[in-house]
């Protein structure tokens, strides 16, 4: 409740409306779901009853067919026909087999043909089915129970194009060497109605319901549409059987409620499906009425809420708007005052608020004067720190360069020394003359001179490539800001690399007024612990205090050049400027300088007057 009391009146009103809306929606949704559940369960129960009837019918017909096949398989005449070697005796036996087959076919309606095929290629059929069953002879395992192949298309051989095939191995029961050995194969070719009865799948008689009896290959044995018999049922419908009952299946853009029942006796399945839209047709009308009631109730509630807001919250809203205007910090707006008309409490509130603004106005004036003096002192301090940092960078570089000149003088001719002296003179003059801010073009010229010295020293150990954005060349940058970065890439990245390397200097103008300079090398890179140490030292080395001396920084393992550059960027551009390092062992190092030109250039503004 304490949290609720902290909310604004407007928020509490809308929260109350939201709770009422959620309650109404929940009641409607629960009611709708309960009614839909009742309809779905009734349909599922009805479908289960019909599926159970079909299953009983199929089971009864299967028992009859299994008994007929067993009677034929164990008939003495059939056994003799398949095993006796005497041709004359076989001819007489075949007449008896013919009578037996005719009698058996008359006992069960729907038997289209009976075929027996012996292991010695001896065969007999009623209506020419021998050629049709030849591919299936070896497909039956040596088992005593009948094997239900399923639906087969035998063309115009029989009245039904699509027939159901059942096979069974015949074993010898006569004493002798062949006792219990497989001596032949018996086949029944059936009209599917012999298994499913004469109603042709019309037991599921609801208008929108579709039902199928399918075999092991998903071929349709029974359907309300006779044209579908023999076709394959969509695998999406037949697969995914669930022991929980009905399931939802999307097919051709429509949602169906599907129920399935296995028929392991014939390796088949009963599938019932009904469009969910048809099943829920009556629920749609109820849903429309509920939606209309919900909309009417929402309109009435919103009208009441708006009436409360207009009669109670308008004066408070005006006061809050005035407070928001003052919070923006504009001195001119601090001089404005508010006049509220309404309840006596509102008038008293506006008067006291105006008196408070008068006091704040006087205190603000005093605070601005004090801040101006403190700001001037802070700027003086930062300029002193900047001059100190620059005095560190120049001697550090000149010392390294002169050491290199001494080494080259011992092994190289006067031409190299002359070129080095010339480049070194340009760098020295550049560092001691001019202002603190120079165009990027001038800074890159000094970098080129520096790289000329390094390439004379290292020969063809590395190449330098410049990818420069012309729009960035005239942008002002701090003097001597790039040379320490390039020096770091040469001495710590490329010099230690055994094979030739490449140094890339890239400039770009990214976000409006943001200059980025990247120095990339493909040198030895930096190990992860060392990289983390450098990044951490750059982030904390100069946080609110004077930087360390170069010797101290070297002993701490941090690069004085990188730390000084980062600190100069922070002093010049504020928190949004600075230096970032990306590196991986063997993958090189990328150092990126970010300079938001036109941002918080505190030092730059002072130098320009």
Predicted confidence band of residue 486 (pLDDT cuts 50, 70, 90): very high
pLDDT digits over 155-185, tens only?
Answer: 888 888 889 999 988 888 878 777 888 888 8
- Give, in degrees to the nearest 5, the angle at Cα 159 between 154 and 164: 50
Structural tokens at position 334? 């601090």
Query: In 119-264, which ranges are E strands?
Result: 123-125, 147-153, 162-171, 182-190, 210-214, 220-223, 247-251, 254-263
Check residue 467 and give its pLDDT. 93
Structural tokens at position 270? 């009963």
Is pLDDT above 60 for 391?
no
- Give, in degrees to the nearest 5, the angle at Cα 546 between 485 and 541: 55
Is pLDDT above 50 for 601?
no
Domain with CATH 3.30.565.10 in the chain: 375-607
pLDDT digits over 502-512, tens only?
Answer: 999 999 988 77
Structural tokens at position 102? 């005719």
Q: Report the CATH fold assignment for 375-607.
A: Heat Shock Protein 90 (3.30.565)
pLDDT digits over 337-376, tens only?
Answer: 777 766 667 777 778 888 887 787 778 778 878 887 777 6
pTM, two decimals, is 0.43
Given the DSSP bridges, would you call strands 462-467 and 501-509 parallel, antiparallel or unpaired?
A: parallel
pLDDT digits over 11-58, tens only?
Answer: 877 888 888 888 888 888 888 788 777 777 777 777 777 788 888 888
What is the DSSP code string of 101-149? HHHHHHHSTTEEEEEEEETTS-EEESSS-HHHHGGGGGGS-S-SS-EEE
Which of the residue ranges 65-74, 198-207, 365-374 would you say has the lowest mean pLDDT?
198-207
| Residue 145 or 524, more confident | 524
What residue has token string 């999307």? 250
CA distances from residue 538 to 69, 390, 533 in whole angstroms, order as listed = 93, 17, 9
Which of the residue ranges 257-266, 323-332, 447-456 would you say has the lowest mean pLDDT?
323-332
Is pLDDT above 60 for 573?
yes
* Cβ pair 24, 294 in contact under 8 A: yes
Which of the residue ranges 116-130, 153-167, 373-387 would you say has the lowest mean pLDDT?
373-387
Is pLDDT above 60 for 513?
yes
Is pLDDT above 60 for 141?
yes
pLDDT digits over 515-553, tens only?
Answer: 999 999 999 999 999 888 888 878 764 454 444 433 333
Q: Report the CATH fold assignment for 6-60+199-282.
A: Beta-Lactamase (3.30.450)
Is pLDDT above 60 for 200?
no
pLDDT digits over 415-438, tens only?
Answer: 677 677 777 777 777 776 677 889
Predicted confidence band of residue 408 (pLDDT cuts 50, 70, 90): low
Q: Which residues are CB-neighbours of 504 under 8 A, at least 6 positions away? A: 464, 465, 466, 467, 518, 519, 520, 521
Superfamily name and number for 74-196: PAS domain (3.30.450.20)
Rounded to 10 deg, the angle between the 87-107 and 9-73 helix axes is 140
**In the chain, how long is the greatest CA-to-CA distance?**
136
HEC-encoded secondary structure of 398-430: HHHHHHHHHHHHHHCCHHHHHHHHHHHHHHHHH
Check residue 553 and give its pLDDT. 39
Mean pLDDT over each residue of the chain, to the nearest integer: 78
Is pLDDT above 70 for 377?
no
pLDDT > 70: percent of the chain:
79
* Cβ pair 382, 560 in contact under 8 A: no
Structural tokens at position 401? 């360069």
Question: CA-to-CA distance for 210 and 354, rounded, in angstroms?
Answer: 80
pLDDT > 90: percent of the chain:
11
Question: CA-to-CA distance for 336 and 357, rounded, in angstroms?
Answer: 9
Predicted confidence band of residue 206 (pLDDT cuts 50, 70, 90): very low
Name the percent of the chain in helix, strand, coil, to the closest 5: 55, 20, 25
Provide the 10 A C-beta neighbour count for residue 358: 11
Which of the residue ranges 323-327, 387-391, 456-460 would you say has the lowest mean pLDDT?
387-391
Domain with CATH 3.30.450.20 in the chain: 6-60+199-282, 74-196
Which of the residue ranges 239-248, 493-502, 550-559 would you say has the lowest mean pLDDT?
550-559
Question: CA-to-CA distance for 206 and 44, rounded, in angstroms?
Answer: 12
């Amino acid at each position: 409740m304490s949290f609720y009391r902290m909310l604004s009146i407007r928020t509490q009103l809308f929260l109350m409306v939201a709770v009422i809306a959620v309650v109404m929606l929940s009641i409607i949704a629960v009611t709708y779901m309960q009614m839909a559940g009742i309809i779905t369960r009734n349909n599922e129960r009805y479908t289960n009853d019909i599926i159970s009837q079909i299953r009983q019918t199929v089971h009864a017909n299967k028992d009859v067919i299994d008994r007929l096949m067993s009677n034929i398989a164990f008939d003495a005449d059939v056994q003799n026909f398949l095993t006796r070697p005497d041709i004359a005796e076989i001819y007489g036996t075949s007449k008896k087999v013919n009578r037996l087959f005719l009698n058996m076919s008359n006992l069960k309606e729907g038997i289209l043909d009976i075929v027996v095929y012996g292991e010695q290629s001896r065969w007999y059929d009623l209506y020419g089915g021998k050629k049709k069953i030849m591919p299936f002879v070896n497909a039956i395992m040596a088992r005593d129970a009948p094997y239900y192949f399923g639906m087969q298309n035998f063309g115009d051989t029989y009245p039904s194009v699509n027939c159901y095939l059942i096979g069974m191995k015949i074993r010898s029961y006569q004493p002798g060497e062949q006792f219990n050995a497989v001596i032949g194969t018996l086949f029944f070719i059936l009209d599917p109605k012999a298994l499913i009865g004469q109603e042709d799948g019309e037991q599921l008689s609801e208008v929108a319901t579709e039902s199928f009896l399918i075999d092991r290959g998903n071929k349709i044995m029974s359907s309300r549409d006779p044209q579908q018999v023999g076709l394959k049922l969509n695998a999406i419908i037949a697969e995914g059987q669930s022991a929980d009952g009905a399931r939802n299946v999307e097919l051709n853009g429509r949602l169906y409620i599907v129920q399935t029942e296995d028929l392991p006796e014939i390796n088949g399945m009963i599938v019932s499906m009904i469009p969910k839209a048809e099943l829920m047709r009556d629920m749609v009308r109820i849903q429309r009425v509920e939606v209309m009631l919900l909309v009417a109730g929402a309109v009435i509630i919103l009208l009441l809420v708006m009436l409360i807001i207009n009669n109670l919250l308008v004066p408070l809203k005006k006061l809050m708007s005035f407070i928001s205007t003052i919070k923006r910090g504009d001195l001119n707006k601090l001089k404005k005052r508010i006049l509220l008309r309404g309840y006596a409490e509102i008038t008293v509130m506006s008067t006291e608020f105006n008196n408070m603004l008068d006091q704040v106005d006087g205190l603000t004036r005093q605070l601005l004067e004090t801040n101006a003096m403190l700001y001037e002192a802070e700027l003086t301090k930062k300029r002193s720190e900047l001059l100190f940092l620059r005095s560190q960078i120049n001697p550090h570089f000149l010392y390294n360069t002169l050491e290199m000149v001494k080494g080259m003088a011992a092994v190289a001719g006067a031409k190299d020394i002359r070129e080095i002296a010339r480049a070194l003179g340009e760098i020295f003059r550049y560092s001691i003359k001019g202002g603190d801010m120079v165009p990027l073009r001038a800074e890159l010229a000094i970098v080129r001179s520096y790289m000329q010295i390094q390439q004379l020293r290292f020969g063809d150990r590395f190449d330098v490539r410049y990818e420069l954005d012309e729009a960035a060349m005239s942008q002002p940058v701090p003097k001597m800001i790039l040379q320490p970065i390039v020096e770091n890439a040469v001495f710590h990245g490329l010099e230690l690399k055994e094979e030739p390397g490449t140094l890339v200097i890239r400039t770009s103008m990214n976000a409006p007024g943001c200059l980025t300079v990247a120095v990339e090398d493909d040198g030895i890179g930096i190990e992860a612990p060392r990289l983390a140490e450098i990044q951490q030292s750059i982030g904390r080395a100069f946080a609110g205090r004077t930087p360390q001396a170069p010797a101290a920084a070297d002993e701490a393992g941090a690069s004085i050049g990188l730390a000084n550059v980062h600190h100069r960027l922070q002093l010049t551009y504020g928190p949004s400027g600075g230096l970032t390092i990306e590196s991986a062992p063997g993958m090189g190092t990328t150092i990126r300088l970010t300079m938001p030109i036109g941002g918080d250039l505190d030092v730059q503004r002072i130098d320009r007057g």
